[in-house]
Amino acid sequence: MAWQDEYNQSDVIEKEIDTMNIEWKHCYSSDLKRARTTAQKAFQGNIIFLEELREIPLSPFFKTRLKLPLALHLLFIRMAWFFNHRSQQVTKAEVIRQINKTLDMVIKHDENLLIVGHGGLMIFMSNELLKRGFSGPKIKKAENAKIYVFEQ
């Protein structure tokens, strides 16, 4: 699982960010390095960094001395998480609860908010925003530095 720690500390591949000429009033970002860098590039004001916007933590499904390709490990881990296997640190229900709690906190401003998170979390966040009556895209695979707009 060292790859996960290394990935969480790695630099982001910086890309141009199309802010769509939207005047963002507030910005919330994951506190991990990649998201911080992206948030600071997209938003010039005070950014509120939240641990709650970090990527969903994953745990190994099983331990083995066999050298398996990372892609195979990731497949097993994602399947274990999807099926709520006891090996996982957090369940899908806990992630959704955390997302909704965070959305309740940040949406109260009722202004143009920029939220910078990580791919897996953004997929679930888009689902929750759509359930709340927002219009916007259903994210299936989030792209680095792409802004997805949701409107109420």
Domain ranges of the chain: 22-57+90-131
Q: Show pLDDT as tens, one digit a residue, over the chain (152 residues).
A: 565 566 656 666 778 899 889 999 999 999 988 899 999 999 999 999 999 998 877 666 556 676 767 677 677 777 776 777 777 667 788 889 999 999 999 988 768 999 999 888 899 999 999 999 999 999 999 898 899 999 98
Q: 22-57+90-131 sits in which CATH class?
A: alpha beta
Q: How far apart are the first and last CA of the chain?
A: 39
DSSP H or E segment with residue 116: strand 113-116
Q: What is the pLDDT of residue 115?
A: 95
Three-state helix/strand/coil letters over 33-100: HHHHHHHHHHCCCCEEEEHHHCCCCCCCCCCCCCCCCHHHHHHHHHHHHHCCCCCCCCCHHHHHHHHH
Could you report the per-residue pLDDT of 99-115, keeping only the tens digit for each?
A: 999 999 998 876 899 99
Return the structure tokens found at 142: 């989030």
Lookup: tokens for 111 = 């202004």
